[in-house]
Amino acid sequence: DGNGKVSRVIRIGTRKSQLARIQTDSVADKLKELYPHVHMEIVGMSTTGDKILDTALSKIGEKSLFTKELENALERNEVDLVVHSLKDLPTTLPPGFTIGAVLKRENPFDAVVLHPKHMGKSLETLPESSVIGTSSLRRAAQLKKRFPHLDFKDIRGNLNTRLKKLDEKEDFAAIILAAAGLRRMGWENRISQILGPEDCMYAVGQGALAVEVRARDADILEMVSVLHDPDTVLRCIAERAFLRHLEGGCSVPVAVNTEVKDSQLYLTGAVYSLDGSDSLKETMQTSTAAADKSPEEVDERVQRVGVTASKISGEAQDRAERLGVDLANLLLSKGAKEILTVARQLNDAR
């Protein structure tokens, strides 16, 4: 630093989109605050998902669409950690990687952004056959059932691109986006309506940021572990375990809703047919109260659905994971596999 002091450089990998940069900068700022002697360097990259913009995400069928290139850089030691939207991360990570931090969740629900000429309306009051843009099978399946008078069509691109497509053309009456992304971009004023769980449950991990690191980098893991938000970690472990056990991915409509209240973790999970006509939904709960004897028993190497959180009660994490698996099994026993298989086949055939 010019005074003969050596400061450590930490390289943070991110996608190049404006939202990804804002999210990464927020993580870098938190780390700078905690470790003022460390120099943060941000490395932007383009991923497959950023390059293929003319195909629906659900058709590409690649689970690590927005993460693979970043993980390759992590593997080659070109970066030390990577910031993702947790919902982009597959429930099974490649060997040698782990999620070292899950930050406090922003509002996980979906938001309706209306075309300027429909200002003041809601999905309910939009004219018959209005076209709603969403690239998510999960959103379309739930909203088709809830608002049968609307038409749903694919829209791709990052947030900026999608808003531009909405505003500058007459193709869409509204688009559905994650409220979290709009808030982080400072575009809260564009939100006309937040869809509650009765209208549209959210994607696994939606609204939470994840920091992925090499599992063997004990010092980096220790450094980022202070960013973990305990409630968000438990909610997301339950959600990811639910999705993993169902074998759901981008190409099937699976939705969740979680809440931590009075030392209880509540998980609602649902699966849908593509048009929403067929669905299964159940809720289960578990205690989050920790009865861990001593922190020494925590094994740094233990991952739960890809998450390493050594400072949070292992017992509570195990219960959260079990909750996700139990809820998935309950839905599977009621016919979830059949619904998802048909949804996958129909989606592949489209």
DSSP 8-state symbol, 117: G
Residue 219 φ/ψ region, left for φ over 0, alpha for ψ in the -120 to 50 degree band, beta for the rest? alpha
Integer Rg of the chain from CA: 20
Taking residue 159's Cβ as centre, other Cβ atoms within 10 Å add up to 21
Q: How many CA atoms lie within 13 A of 152 on its CB side?
A: 22
Distance, in Å, from the CA atom of 39 to the CA atom of 57, rounded to the nearest integer, reads 36
**Hey, which residues are catalytic here?**
88
Tell me how far CA of residue 51 lies from CA of 11, 21, 114, 133, 220, in angstroms: 23, 17, 26, 20, 30
Distance, in Å, from the CA atom of 74 to the CA atom of 99, rounded to the nearest integer, reads 12
Distance, in Å, from the CA atom of 281 to the CA atom of 211, rounded to the nearest integer, reads 30
Residues in the chain: 350
| CA triple 318-323-329, angle to 5 deg | 125
Max CA separation in the chain (angstroms): 70
